[in-house]
Amino acid sequence: MCKSVISCYLLPQWDHLVTDMDEFAGANGVSVPRIGFGTYQMEGAECAQAVRTALENGYRHFDTAVAYDNESVIGDVIAESHVDREDVFLTTKVKGYQEMLTYDRFLAEAEGCLDRLGTGYVDLLLVHWWQRDGDMEGVFRALDELVADGKVRHIGVSNFSIELLERARDVAETPILTNQIEYHPYFTDVHGDLVAYCQEHDILVTAYSPLAEGRVVRDETFTAIGDRYGKTAAQVSLRWLIQQDGVIAIPKSSTDRYIRENLDVFDFELSDEEMRTITDARGPFRYQLLVKQGGPLHTMRGVVGPRMPEPMRKAVLSIGSAVLKFVR
């Protein structure tokens, strides 16, 4: 039986859209477009234009968050578009600040998302990140209620370790659809067994910063691999992600050409050897040293940062992140 026929039976929500199984990944009987559209650091007219372009070019999966300050723009563009609401898979995230990780506050924050989006429901609501003293039972009770009320279709988490996932799975009645984590070819050695854990437990890995915030696009090895297929280094990186079991990716771009390019990754297949070569890439040394989570600078910041007075810490952080944006 052809794969798309199987998906029509197993995944009714998307049966009218499925033309090629490769474009969707499934977990817990739910089917999600493997390439979504990231919207971090895009606001106002720039965000509206990019989301419009993405919709026109076939994206049906969008990722936003309270923290991105663009939920209402995205909700408006979807409402005004030619695409039916039910054909769009829309994700948002409630901030993981300590004070929001309680039953009452989380419910209130989720209602805020629904108000700003104005889309009636969200397909996926994530806990953006976790704090040690958050009320795990309360937050997941709130998520379960949102699902029961039809306001949220699926629930998930972001930046969760295996230990946090275990705790969440213990208290949640609704299956956790995804763990959204940083994942790209320069970031394969930091998570330990996290990706494998998600694959074993039917939890999609949503790869954020799948292009290492644009750093992979000049990678000579990826460019050479891409040349064999008429693809760019960016497309090779995305293909490497979505060719893994249960991995989906949400690249962001505000450039029309890149928006189209990033969705055009379903008509070639990397060999096992190419997959291994890409997995072994670590990125430029300066990236490993200065930018990478888990790298020396990041570790030092974790130790020194909390010991600094708050205003100094904030100033150092914002100057530091602005400077590091230019490290390629």
Catalytic residues: 68
Sign of the torsion angle spanned by Cα atoms 155, 157, 162, 168: negative
| Burial zone of 296 (CB within 10 Å; 0-12 exposed, 13-18 middle, 19+ buried) | exposed
Element (H, E) at 110: helix 103-117
For ligand NAP, the closer CB: 18 or 236: 236
Closest CA to 239 of 215, 216, 218: 216
For ligand NAP, the closer CB: 54 or 147: 54
Could you give the 3-state DSSP secondary structure of residue 150? coil
Least Å distance, CB 41 to ligand NAP, is 6
The three-point CA angle 6-11-15 to 5° equals 80
Cβ contacts of 308 within 8 Å, gap of 6 or more: 316
CA dist., res. 60 & res. 47, Å (int)? 16
For ligand NAP, the closer CB: 158 or 174: 158
Q: Tell me if 138 sits within 8 A of 173, measured CB to CB.
A: no
For ligand NAP, the closer CB: 7 or 287: 287
Instruction: Give the β-pairing of 247-249 and 204-208.
Output: parallel
Beta bridge partners of 15: none
Least Å distance, CB 8 to ligand NAP, is 29
DSSP secondary structure string for all residues of 5-40: HHHHHH-GGGTTT-S-GGGEEEETTEEEESB-EE-T
Structure tokens that stand for 130 in this block: 């976790």
Least Å distance, CB 40 to ligand NAP, is 3
Least Å distance, CB 31 to ligand NAP, is 20
Structure tokens that stand for 157 in this block: 């988490």
For ligand NAP, the closer CB: 18 or 38: 38
Beta bridge partners of 248: 206
- Contacts to ligand NAP by CB under 6 A: 38-40, 63, 128, 158-159, 180, 208-214, 217, 234, 250-255, 258, 261-262
Instruction: Give the β-pairing of 61-63 and 247-249.
Output: unpaired
Chain residue at closest Cβ approach to ligand NAP: 38
Q: Tell me if 140 sits within 8 A of 168, measured CB to CB.
A: yes
For ligand NAP, the closer CB: 24 or 129: 129
For ligand NAP, the closer CB: 107 or 126: 126
